[in-house]
């Protein structure tokens, strides 16, 4: 029987598998690109990473489409905490920062204008390295990696490098937001010209896209408010680095305001669509009412001459009488009705 006064130990947490983590069944390792302290960019394997950690040299390891081997690398080589490893393995996380001793896990989001989707990046940060993992391509992120190549990375640049990554991801929201505003303007012009169901579907698609962005921008803004205010910190974060994080926070505030403005524009576009459709329906109903009203005197004339009373139409016979009294009276009735409609502004 075991001794001690502690309670029962929790069962060991099973390690996440690649297929459970949404990392793809076909790949066991993602594309690993390492930028070392001297600015060298190269593809690396596990042994190379272990050597760099042993030497204590600072590096940035970027993993695109991580797989099971990458999880094993984080677990066995980087000694990542099991809770952090579980979060890294499962994407669709909320923007957040979790501290685990001398390591921190940061979940960030950016936008991919080319594919109209969000890019989720998991960053594992320590004083000696920065590891970023993402499943989707991000042009802004790829450009950042190219710019970092050839530049020397200082041993204490982990927090500063994370700022650069976060700044690139946050700024990637601006181009698609501008594209949404342009699309809303063109939609309003199209709706005023000729509304149809395709435009309504486009409005709902854009609203769904804005809601999706807002779900990640709002918590990401709160995250950087904490980082900028000193409530929470990342390993190696100095007061100078905190000033730069305030800049990211300012950008996120602006993005949140743009999202609200775009949502208001879409709501206005929906009102324009409904008003335009309602006006067109009223116009159709007005025209149908005019046509139906014109048939009222015609029906009366036809009914009058169709009654079986010979005294009323005695002497009315032949084509001339038919044209004069039958068609003529109907034409006169229509002409009088049209005159009255135009005089009153109904046509």
In this prediction, residues 167-178 reach a mean pLDDT of 93
Q: What CATH number belongs to 16-153?
A: 3.30.460.20
Q: By the 8 A CB rule, do 72 and 17 touch?
A: no
How many whole angstroms separate alpha carbon 44 and alpha carbon 10?
A: 37
The yes-or-no verdict on residue 261 having pLDDT over 80 is yes
Q: By the 8 A CB rule, do 177 and 262 touch?
A: yes
**% of residues, the chain, pLDDT over 70:** 79
* pLDDT band, very low/low/confident/very high, at 18 (cuts 50, 70, 90): very low
pTM: 0.74
Q: By the 8 A CB rule, do 88 and 124 touch?
A: yes
Bridge partner residues of 98 (DSSP):
105
Regarding beta strands 41-43 and 59-64, do their DSSP bridges make them parallel or antiparallel, or are they unpaired?
Answer: unpaired
Q: Which helix (H) or strand (E) holds 279?
A: helix 239-305
The DSSP-derived string for 28-39 is SS-EEEEEETT-
Of the candidates 108, 227, 84, 87, the one whose C-alpha atom is nearest the C-alpha of residue 167 is: 108
* 21-52 burial code (b ≥16 CB/10 A, e <16): bebeeeeebbebbbbbbeeeeeeeeeebbeeb
Q: Which helix (H) or strand (E) holds 277?
A: helix 239-305
* pLDDT band, very low/low/confident/very high, at 2 (cuts 50, 70, 90): very low
The yes-or-no verdict on residue 24 having pLDDT over 60 is no
pLDDT at 299: 77
Q: By the 8 A CB rule, do 297 and 333 touch?
A: yes
User: How confident is the prediction for the chain on average, in pLDDT?
Assistant: 80
Of the candidates 113, 118, 129, the one whose C-alpha atom is nearest the C-alpha of residue 53 is: 129
- Of 99-113, 208-222, 245-259, least confident by mean pLDDT is 99-113
* pLDDT band, very low/low/confident/very high, at 169 (cuts 50, 70, 90): very high
Starting at the edge strand found earlier in the chain, the sheet holding 117-125 runs 41-43, 31-36, 59-64, 129-134, 117-125, 103-112, 96-100
In this prediction, residues 199-216 reach a mean pLDDT of 93
Secondary structure of 237-259 in HEC code, one letter for each residue: CCHHHHHHHHHHHHHHHHHHHHH
**% of residues, the chain, pLDDT over 90:** 35
Query: In the structure encoding, which two tokens stand for residue 219, read together?
Result: 């918590």
CA 320 centroid distance within chain: 74
In this prediction, residues 49-69 reach a mean pLDDT of 88
Query: In the structure encoding, which two tokens stand for residue 313, read together?
Result: 């139409």
Regarding beta strands 129-134 and 59-64, do their DSSP bridges make them parallel or antiparallel, or are they unpaired?
Answer: parallel
How many whole angstroms separate alpha carbon 183 and alpha carbon 272?
A: 15
CATH 3.30.460.20 maps onto the chain at 16-153
How many whole angstroms separate alpha carbon 120 and alpha carbon 219?
A: 14
Q: By the 8 A CB rule, do 234 and 104 touch?
A: yes
Phi, psi of 122, deg, nearest 5: -100, 125
* pLDDT band, very low/low/confident/very high, at 259 (cuts 50, 70, 90): very high
The yes-or-no verdict on residue 8 having pLDDT over 60 is no
Measuring CA to CA, how many Å separate 197 from each of 14, 203, 211, 227, 304? 50, 10, 21, 45, 47
Q: By the 8 A CB rule, do 134 and 119 touch?
A: yes
The yes-or-no verdict on residue 130 having pLDDT over 50 is yes
In this prediction, residues 30-38 reach a mean pLDDT of 73
């Amino acid at each position: 029987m075991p001794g001690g006064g502690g309670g029962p130990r929790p069962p060991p947490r099973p390690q996440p598998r690649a297929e459970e983590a949404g990392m793809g069944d076909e790949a066991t390792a993602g594309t690993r690109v390492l930028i070392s302290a001297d600015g060298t960019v190269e593809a690396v394997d596990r042994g190379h990473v272990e050597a760099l950690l042993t030497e204590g040299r600072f590096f940035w390891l970027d993993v695109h489409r991580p797989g099971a081997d990458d999880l094993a690398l984080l677990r066995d080589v980087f000694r990542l905490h099991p809770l952090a490893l579980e979060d890294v393995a499962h994407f669709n996380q909320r923007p957040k920062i979790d501290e685990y001793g001398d390591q921190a896990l940061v979940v960030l989001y950016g936008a991919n204008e080319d594919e109209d989707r969000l890019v989720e990046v998991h960053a594992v940060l320590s004083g000696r390295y920065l590891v970023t993992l993402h499943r989707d391509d991000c042009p802004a992120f790829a450009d950042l990696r190219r710019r970092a190549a050839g530049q020397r990375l200082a041993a204490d640049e982990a927090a500063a490098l994370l700022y650069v990554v976060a700044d690139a991801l946050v700024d990637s929201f601006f181009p698609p937001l501008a594209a949404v505003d342009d699309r809303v303007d063109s939609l309003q012009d199209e709706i005023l010209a000729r509304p149809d169901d395709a435009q309504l579907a486009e409005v709902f698609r854009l609203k769904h896209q804005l809601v999706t962005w807002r779900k990640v921008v709002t918590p990401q803004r709160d995250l950087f408010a904490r980082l900028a205010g000193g409530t929470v910190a990342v390993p190696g974060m100095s007061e100078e680095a905190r000033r730069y994080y305030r800049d990211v926070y300012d950008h996120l505030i602006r993005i949140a305001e743009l999202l609200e403005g775009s949502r208001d524009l879409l709501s206005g576009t929906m009102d324009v669509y409904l008003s335009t459709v309602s006006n067109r329906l009223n116009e159709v109903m007005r025209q149908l009412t005019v046509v139906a009203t014109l048939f009222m005197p015609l029906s009366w004339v036809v009914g009058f001459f169709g009654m079986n009373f010979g005294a009323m139409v005695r002497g009315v016979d032949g084509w001339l009488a038919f044209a004069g009294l039958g068609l003529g009276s109907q034409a006169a009735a229509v002409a009088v009705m049209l005159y009255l409609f135009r005089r009153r502004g109904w046509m």
